[in-house]
Amino acid sequence: MAAKVISLAEMAKHDSNASCYMAIHGKVYDVTKFLQEHPGGEEVMMDHAGQDGTEAFEDTGHSQDARDMLAEYEIGVLPEDEAAAASKAEKKTSTNAPAGGSSDSWTLYTVVGLLAIGAGVAYKMMAASA
């Protein structure tokens, strides 16, 4: 059976806990019944109610179990062009990044670590030549 195509405009009508749709990786899910069961809380789900939640879902690093759960709530797919655009738009509009940017801190740790090693080597060389 062909999947039902649900546009972002249609999704936007389902943005409350009476009826809550969320798109993840181009698929549309009716998560109304899942809101209260979500281990991460209802509030974060409502932040993306009626919208594309791909970025948020991926940013929080969900388990394979969580991914498998999605199938249960699938009701359709986004139109192809909107699926691509939605993920991009989400990136631009995500203003607050709670506990996010873990890759950024790794970069920082690496740089600081390398600097420390560099300083150690330079000190040894200076000490040796003195």
Instruction: Write out the H or E segment, with its range, that includes residue 118.
Output: helix 102-129
Query: What is the C-alpha to C-alpha distance for residues 88 and 90, in angstroms, rounded to an integer?
Result: 5
Closer CB to ligand HEM, residue 20 or residue 82? Answer: 20
Asked whether position 68 contacts ligand HEM by CB under 6 A, the answer is no
Cα–Cα distance measured from residue 99 to residue 59, given in angstroms and rounded to the nearest whole number: 9
Tokens 């939605």 appear where?
86
- Across-strand partners of 24? 27
Tell me if 39 contacts ligand HEM by CB under 6 A. yes
Distance from C-alpha of 123 to C-alpha of 112, rounded to nearest angstrom: 16
Interacting span for ligand HEM (CB under 6 A) from 2-10, 30-38, 84-92, 114-122: 30-38
Of 60, 74, 85, 94, the residue at the interface with ligand HEM (CB under 6 A) is 60
Does 21 bind ligand HEM (CB under 6 A)? Our answer is: no
> 8, 14, 28, 29: which one contacts ligand HEM (CB under 6 A)?
29
Q: How far apart are CA 89 and CA 91, in angstroms?
A: 5
Piece of the chain touching ligand HEM by CB under 6 A; list 48-56, 76-84, 87-95, 121-129: 48-56
3-class SS of residue 21: strand
> What is the binding site for ligand HEM (CB under 6 A)?
22, 29, 31, 34, 38-40, 44-45, 48, 53, 56-57, 60, 62-63, 65-66, 69-70
